[in-house]
Each structure stands twice: as C-alpha cells, then as structure tokens.
C-alpha cells in the first residue's frame, strides 16, 4: 500500500476508481523494476480492497480486470531458487529453540502441507503402519473476523488429499501421537 497503491491512487474515493485508472496503475507498476509476479500480487491486494468496498456497498463492481495483468511465467531456472537445499533446511531448523516448533517445520518441509493444514491435523488423520505412512488432509485452521480461528475446509477442493510421508516425518508424528494422544 505504502510503496505502490498509495502513491499511484493517493486518497481517491474508492467509488471513483475506474478501469482506466487500473490500466494506468498496472502500466506504472510494469515501468518499475518489479517482476510480473510482484505486479500480480500488488494488483491482487488492490482487487481485495476494491472487493471489500463493494461488499460494503461503497462502490459497484471491481474495475481491475484479469486481462490487465501481466502473464506470470515460470521456468526451471526461476524455480531453482524457490526450494531449500537440505543444508539450508537443516540450518533453519537447527536455530529453532523449541523442539515442537522444530518438528513442525520438519513436517512442513517433508510433507508440503500448509501451516494451517498441519495445525488442524488430528491423530486419526495419520496412518503409520509397516506398509503405509500417510496423512489425510481434509481440514485446515481458518480465520473468521467475528469468531476468530476455527477448523474448516482446506484452501480448495484439490487441497483434500492423501500425502505420503517419509520415514523421518512418520517418526516425528509417531512421537507426537504418543506424547499428546488427545490431539
């Protein structure tokens, strides 16, 4: 907001932002040394603000259209730096002081679960046998402005899944299950 949206749109009334304003805004972002993905995320934040205004009847419609946004493409080269090496992961986890938090980070890295999905796991969601080690993901911790946190559906329908887990993660989960059987 401070770096991009505020300077471009200032303190305009929210009901006066038009499609042309949004087009100029995207062009101004593309003129900066930002990547397409950063431009996409900044515009997403603006769309959220406009949607919030629309939901509260401060404006009609959302003037930012998907075709205004730059294409976000990823190549193998751009993805290489997105993943931690084993040494980087170990270095991060070794600096976590509380063992439960270190275990949680290890589980996130080993399983690919989102933090909200990991927090919602229960013992009955974990299968650890000689032949199968898996987690059933069917819920996540969600947020509600009025009532706070609650357990609900995961992020999307595709988020309902079974995740195979390596022996190191199965060992952590087995230990957690015996330490906290009510979880």
Structure tokens at 141: 């911790």
Least confident of 122-131, 136-145, 167-176: 167-176
| pLDDT > 70 in the chain, percent | 92
Structure tokens at 127: 């299968």
Please, which pLDDT band fits residue 105 given cuts at 50, 70 and 90? very high
Burial class (CB within 10 angstroms; exposed 0-12, middle 13-18, buried 19+) of 134 = middle
The answer, yes or no, to whether residue 183 has pLDDT greater than 60, is no
pLDDT of residue 3: 83
What letter would DSSP give residue 71?
P
How is domain 84-179 classified at the architecture level of CATH?
A: Orthogonal Bundle (1.10)
Work out the number of other CB atoms within 10 angstroms of the CB of residue 17.
20
**Taking the model in full, what pTM does it have?**
0.58
Pick from 71, 68, 70, 72: nearest CA to 21: 68
pLDDT of residue 81: 67
Interhelix angle 86-94/99-111, rounded to 10 degrees, is 160
| Interatomic CA distance for residues 54 and 59, integer angstroms | 5
What pairing do the DSSP bridges indicate for beta strands 148-152 and 140-144?
A: antiparallel
Between residues 138 and 81, the one the model is more confident about: 138
């Amino acid at each position: 907001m401070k770096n991009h949206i505020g300077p471009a749109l200032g303190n305009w009334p929210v009901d006066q932002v038009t499609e042309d304003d949004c087009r100029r805004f995207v062009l101004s972002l593309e003129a900066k040394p930002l990547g397409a993905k950063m431009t996409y995320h900044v515009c997403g934040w603006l769309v959220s603000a406009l949607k919030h205004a629309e939901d509260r009847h401060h404006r009609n419609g959302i003037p930012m259209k998907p075709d205004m946004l730059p294409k976000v493409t990823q190549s193998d080269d751009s993805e290489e730096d997105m993943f931690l090496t084993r040494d980087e992961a170990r270095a991060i986890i070794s600096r976590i002081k509380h063992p439960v938090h270190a275990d949680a980070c290890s589980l996130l890295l080993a399983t690919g679960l989102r933090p909200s999905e990991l927090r919602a796991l229960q013992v009955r969601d974990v299968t650890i046998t000689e032949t199968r080690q898996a987690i059933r993901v069917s819920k996540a911790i969600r947020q509600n402005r009025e009532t706070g946190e609650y357990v609900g559906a995961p992020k999307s329908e595709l988020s309902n899944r079974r995740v195979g887990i390596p022996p190191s993660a199965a060992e952590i989960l087995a230990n957690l299950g015996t330490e906290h059987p009510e979880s």
